[in-house]
A and B are shown apart, each in its own frame.
Chain A
Amino acid sequence: MSRIFSVALFTYRELIRSKLLFVWLVCVAVLCGLAFLLSILSFGSVLEIFMDLGLTGMEISGLLVLLLSLVVTYTTEMDQKAIFLHLAKPVTRGEYLLGRIFGFYTVISIVVLGMGLVVIGLVVFVGGGQVPPLFYDCVLFIFLELFVLTVVGLTYQMIATSMVGLFLYSFFTIFLGHCVGEVQWLLAQDISHGLKVLLKVIFYILPNMEVFNLKDRIYDPTMVIGPAQWDEVLLYTFAYSFVVFLIGWVNLEKREFK
């Protein structure tokens, strides 16, 4: 356990001190600028704009930091072979992967949390309104979504043989993961058997990001997140992440470092 913590702390320091966090600052600046602009242009729906922009900004800044961190650390880890020294130590590859996941996730959580505070600040102090109760559920769902994507991204990082490949895998997983609703709709249509099989494979393999999407329903007064839905989302998050982690671990164990 202490070795996992050590790897996580090392990864956390590596990322938090890198210039990647400027991405977060840019996101905050863009969010505030857009919020200010739209609050001037719109009438009566300022709070909703802040909320929509804020939640999207939280998700996008988390995803951007994840993607960039994956790509940048791939260069040092794999291309410059920094991983050799780590794996030659008395640490198992599973412990190493888990430590990297926790380190990445801690940084991404800080980014999302920081963005969340900015959003609350905008809503309360600039908009003069109140944060709806579903906002907190929505933020927690974003945290869970980013956890799944962090596990997927780091698994790709351990499997990928090039930085471009890693970026493309991660980007399309994130993109297609958000299109699972459309895939389900297509499955319900009258399409060829072969295409249906392909879509089903995509549906079951890709992480279903729609599970975590509450943003569109945050102002729906009938919307309540009960314990059953929480259980479902938590189960999905941890089951999916666990399976992906196992795949990453097995691959890392088998991987040869030439």
Chain B
Amino acid sequence: MGLNGAGKTTVIKLILGLLKPTAGKIKVLDGSISQRLVRKRIGYLSELPYFSKQHTGRELLEYFGSLHDLNGKALKHRVDEVLEMVRMSKTAGQRVSGYSKGMLQRIGIGQALLGKPRLLICDEPMSGLDPVGYKEMRDIFIDLKKSGTTLFLNTHILDEIERVCDRIGILHEGVLKETAPISKILESSVPVDYWVDVEKGEAAKLSGLPFQESVAHSGGVQITGLVLAETLALLTSRKAKVNAVRPLSSLVEAYFLNAIGAQDHLSYRGERGRS
């Protein structure tokens, strides 16, 4: 994860050897990317992949498969398998020029899977997809994960991270700020904003909460997680009926903002003050 310009795509290009490091060495799958064996075990999907429009989906996959030294029946079998995997079997005979963005992205994933990669690197794989395409892609990722492929995703989409990833790395201004397992983040005490909803007609009980981190609205109060327990205790003491407590942002988002030091700029706290 990282903001635009943080260096995420640069990292991917460095791993793949499309860019050369100005200092240091990159080791991937216990080797160097210049080794053919290492390249064979890596799959790559670029952001908005461009394919020659004159080819059909099947021809593209056959071509990319042949670069993995597949040929004859083995190539055909693997292409069929991959087309099935990315749900493109029925449209594989069509020219790429007639494909939607989602189909192109699926063919993109397909070409990356041909060599049965141990590591699949995807740069913004959800970019430009509609909700259906997004879900399809996410399902493919989850299937791949189950099959034991390591996914390296560069993405802005927090939902995708929470559902697919086991571990996140936060890149900021070219520096890897943090890496952490998702499970740890979900258990962490990073402050998240909450919405506390009270019974209709009890809005008056929300006024005068003694926390700078709270903003009262009609029917509820927006607070940070730091004062959640205290707020609930206070509302209980005022005999307010709390209907619901909902997080307003994800833990991953909060963790990310915290890691890059952007939380103060983006939170309502600094701007609104005491309610």
- Is the Cβ of B69 less than 8 Å from the Cβ of A2? yes
How many chain B residues touch A (CB < 8 A): the figure is: 30
**Interface hits, A1-21 → B, CB 8 Å:** 2-3, 6-7, 9-10, 13-14, 17-18
- Is the Cβ of B69 less than 8 Å from the Cβ of A90? yes
- Given A14-B52, A258-B19, A3 and B66 contact (CB-CB distance below 8 Å): yes
Specify which chain A residues have a CB less than 8 angstroms from the CB of B64 in the assembled complex: 85, 89
- Is the Cβ of A257 less than 8 Å from the Cβ of B51? no
CA distance in complex: A256, B17 (Å):
8
A17, A82, A87: the one within 8 Å of B51 (CB) = A82
Name the interface size band of chain A: 20 to 34
Tell me, yes or no, whether B261 is within 8 Å of chain A by CB: no
Tell me, yes or no, whether B115 is within 8 Å of chain A by CB: yes
- Is the Cβ of A10 less than 8 Å from the Cβ of B50? no
- Is the Cβ of B69 less than 8 Å from the Cβ of A10? no
CB distance from B105 to the nearest CB of A (A): 13
CA distance in complex: A6, B71 (Å):
10
CB distance from A3 to the nearest CB of B (A): 6
Interface centre among A7, A13, A84, A88 (most CB of B within 10 A): A88
- Is the Cβ of A89 less than 8 Å from the Cβ of B46? no
**Interface hits, A84-126 → B, CB 8 Å:** 84-92
Tell me, yes or no, whether B68 is within 8 Å of chain A by CB: yes
Interface string of B94-112 (1 = CB under 8 A from A): 0000000000000010010
CA distance in complex: A9, B71 (Å):
14
Specify which chain B residues have a CB less than 8 angstroms from the CB of A80 in the assembled complex: 50
CA distance in complex: A85, B111 (Å):
9
Tell me, yes or no, whether B44 is within 8 Å of chain A by CB: yes
- Is the Cβ of B68 less than 8 Å from the Cβ of A14? no
A80 and chain B: residue at smallest CB distance: B50
Specify which chain B residues have a CB less than 8 angstroms from the CB of A81 in the assembled complex: 46, 50
Interface residues of B (CB under 8 A from A): 13, 16-20, 36-37, 39-40, 42, 44, 46, 49-52, 54-55, 59, 63-64, 66-69, 71, 108, 111, 115
Interface residues of A (CB under 8 A from B): 2-3, 6-7, 9-10, 13-14, 17-18, 76, 80-82, 84-92, 256-258
Pick 13 A–B contacts, CB within 8 A, sort by A.
A13-B54, A13-B55, A17-B54, A18-B54, A84-B44, A85-B51, A85-B108, A87-B18, A88-B44, A89-B67, A90-B67, A256-B19, A257-B13
Q: Which 5 A-B pairs have the closest CB atoms?
A: A17-B54, A6-B66, A90-B39, A80-B50, A89-B67
